[in-house]
Amino acid sequence: MKMKKNRNLRSVALVAVGVFLGRGAHADTTLNFDCTPTSSNGSILADCIPPQINNPNSPPGITNYGNFAAASSPGIAVSGFGTPNIGLTWGSDNYPTTRWEYYNRSNGSVWGTGGSGAVQLQDTLVGTTEELTFTPNNPGASVEIESFNFFGYYNSTERFTYNVRVVSGINVLSSQTVSYLSDGTKNHPVNINYTGAPGQTLKLQLRRVASTLGVGEIEGNEYDNAVDDIAFAQTPLNTVFPAGPQVVSVTPADETTGLAATAAPPYAATIADGANTLVTASVKLKLDGNLVSPLPTVTPLGGGQTSVTDTPTGIGLLTSGSHVYTLTYTDNLGGTYTNEVVFSTIYATLPTAYAIPPGAGVTRGFTWRTVSADSQVGNSVTNTSLASTIARAVAQLNGTLINPDTGLPYTNEATPGPNADGSTNIDTVINFADNDSPSAGYEGVFTNDVGFPDLDFLTGPYNWFSGEGRLYLDLPAGYYRFGVNSDDGFEVNALPPQGVSGSPIVLGLFDNGRGQANTLFDFLVQTSGLYPFQLIYFQSSQSAECEFFSVTNLTTAVYSPDTNIVTQGGAILINDTNYSTAIKSFRVLKPLITSIVKSGPNVVINWAYGLPPYQVQVSSDLSNPLGWSNFGGATGSTTATIPIVPGNRFIRVFGQ
């Protein structure tokens, strides 16, 4: 029979290292999430909810579902002897609201009829990952991940694209990119058919990536997609192994992101005995393949449980990227077990060329520029909203964002500031909000909010505006963690100084709409100096706020994009003069000579920064502080041509 090609499934690129077995007539388990309720009130019914800690619509979502399946049960179809030695862990990349959620509705709805169900990919924004981990509980058993179906449950123009991977630790074993158009069906199969080694834990990762959109298509909403019919198997066939000792809890949690790189994170695990028991002397712990020092402390806890703890020393600064703790141990029958925990320390390194010499700051503060299209959006058929993206913010700030009603750029409704670029000088901190704030009188982490510059706070609240802050941050060499609490999105960039080639370096980003929430980001400064920074912010609709801060205690300030950090917990606004540990920000610098070029009998100097009028001075003897003399008069230019004379000649420039 010829199989009809699915017109909505784009071409798949497959890269793999390992064993691939085609799905044949052998024992397996399929999670179809189907359950016929005993009542028919159209809700998510208690007798069809899989085992979990909380309500399926609240964190942590599904838990303990599909574990060690040896017989069929509601929502779980077992063929043959099933997967009695395979445990499942339903997780994500630890973004707070990304999780798996079970749905089963008897009234049909988008989930079908007759008790059919599926598992929603809850809050899968582009850049987030859903993860399903398959763990053999005996080193003799292998897991085969076979297939599943994507289920975009609305017939719409939404396109979803995922990088579907099978991973073991930090090793990618199989990878394919799947893109499909939502059509209200689950007819979007993904075949994997990867079998791990005996005892090997496999992770199925669904990594949401940006789609290439066709005409009329939109990027799928983060709540409008699901998965159904997850099929997996166990080998060898018809062999049930006794359960061995298993890791039942571990810190850091697997796939934890954004840990500080200044030291290896403390490790703690609990191992629970099964029918086979732990040999405590066999326990070993490695970090990135190297045995840790000191050796782990192994402590019997009673009741068949054992703790393993360690705080590795002598590691130094971890590299930016993924790292893995590997715990190995044996049982009383000689079976060897491996548990791997992947965590990431993600940071950028600022180039030394981006440093302006220390001491160049003159006037504290920053500049801020606001561009608004508040009354021009939402008042017509064609012009109902703007994209909640950094790209929109940049176009709006550049004056190139087109109003579809007129075919011309939007008119700026903000009041331009006094500076030549329309910006306003601010001497304090970035702690802005509109007047649509909570009853507590502020929004975000910090109190004492002020209105966004160049917008009338009393007339607001405002929608559909963007802002740009320019700051020069005084940063001694070291490792830093910064954060932005925003409603909606933002981008923080490190910029090359004037006269230095280079591109903006994105340090922190949230490229979507959201209610007030934190995003933290780390970076390394190799050379002390002042560094040019840019903060781009955009507001779509409803409340608006933006705060820019540093984290002063990397040990206690645990990374969580949606967890507020109050000042007492180690977060301080940039340029907050109430704290000696606040990062200083400057808006005016001393003039900085950027080039000196010989031109015939002269040298041509160019400079940046400072404020006019400028004064060029020359001297032939640096040891004489009174030997400087003016060359020419005060000027508004940033260039000067100076004759070459015999002997030494030193040049400097003053500004306001």
392 membership: H or E segment, kind and range: helix 390-398
> Rounded mean pLDDT of 253-263?
88
d(CA 386, CA 553): 38
* Distance of alpha carbon 587 from the chain centroid: 29
Higher pLDDT, 51 or 516: 516
pLDDT band at 61 (very low <50, low <70, confident <90, very high): low
DSSP conformation class of 356: B
- Distance of CA 114 to CAs 33, 40, 105, 111, 630, Å? 12, 10, 8, 10, 90
* Domains present along the chain, CATH in parentheses: 14-235 (2.60.120), 246-345 (2.60.40.1220), 350-587 (2.60.120), 590-654 (2.60.40.10)
User: How much is the mean pLDDT over the chain?
Assistant: 85
Both tokens of residue 43?
Answer: 């809700």
Q: How far apart are CA 217 and CA 186, in angstroms?
A: 19
Q: How would DSSP label each residue in 104-162?
A: E-TT-GGG-STT-EEEEEET--TT-EEEEEEEESSTT-EEEEEEEEEEE-SEEEEEEEE
- Please give the Cα distance from 229 to 363 (Å, whole number): 63
Per residue in 262-318, pLDDT (tens digit) is 999 999 999 999 999 999 999 999 999 999 999 999 999 999 999 999 999 999 999
pLDDT band at 51 (very low <50, low <70, confident <90, very high): low
Top-confidence range, 349-358, 448-457, 613-622: 349-358
Paired strand residues for 654: 615
The angle subtended at Cα 245 by Cα 307 and Cα 96, nearest 5°, is 65
3-state secondary structure of 587: strand
The pairs formed by 307-313 with CB atoms below 8 angstroms and a separation of 24 or more are: 307/268, 307/269, 307/270, 307/271, 308/267, 308/268, 308/269, 308/270, 308/271, 308/283, 309/266, 309/267, 309/268, 309/269, 310/266, 310/267, 310/268, 310/285, 311/264, 311/266, 311/267, 312/264, 312/267, 312/287
pLDDT for the residue numbered 537 = 98
What is the rounded CA–CA span in Å between residue 515 and residue 509? 15
Residue 561: predicted pLDDT: 39
| pLDDT at residue 462 tops 70 | yes
CA gap 523, 28 in Å, rounded: 47
> Which pLDDT band, with edges at 50, 70 and 90, does 366 fall under?
very high
Reported as a single tens digit per residue, the pLDDT across 131-176 is 999 999 999 999 999 999 999 888 888 999 999 999 999 899 999 9
Inform me whether the pLDDT recorded for 255 exceeds 50.
yes
Specify whether the CB–CB gap between 177 and 161 falls below 8 A: yes
Give me the DSSP letters along 247-275: EEEEESPTTB----TTSPPPEEEEEE--S
Residues 529 and 357: beta-carbon distance below 8 Å: yes
The pLDDT of residue 45 is above 80: no
